[in-house]
Amino acid sequence: MKKITFSKEEKAAIVARLQRYFADELDQSIGALPAEFLLDFFTAEIGPYYYNQGLRDAHAALVSKMEDFGEAIYLLEKEPAKG
């Protein structure tokens, strides 16, 4: 599997959200470096679960649309003339 990566901007935004979460929900301060380490851990250890679920969701959506497409094609069929 390809490694999950984020741009510098995305990583900075996620780190800021982690820091806010720790401050708001846990009443603890967490520095940028520990937040980055936590993000790296979540990305490597937990990220694949979310990634794989996203793939399953995308596959289910594609299959559903393909079934709709198949039905639309079926509805376009013409009855041959009798006789």
Sign of the alpha-carbon dihedral angle for 50, 52, 56, 62: positive
Higher pLDDT, 60 or 78: 60
Number of domains in the chain: 1
pLDDT tens digit sequence for 6-37: 999 999 999 999 999 999 999 999 999 999 99
Per the listing, tokens 């069929």 go with: 77
Range(s) of the domain holding residue 49: 8-76
With a CB cutoff of 8 Å and minimum separation 6, the contacts of 31 are 19
Whole-structure pTM value: 0.72
In a domain, 63, yes or no: yes
In a domain, 83, yes or no: no
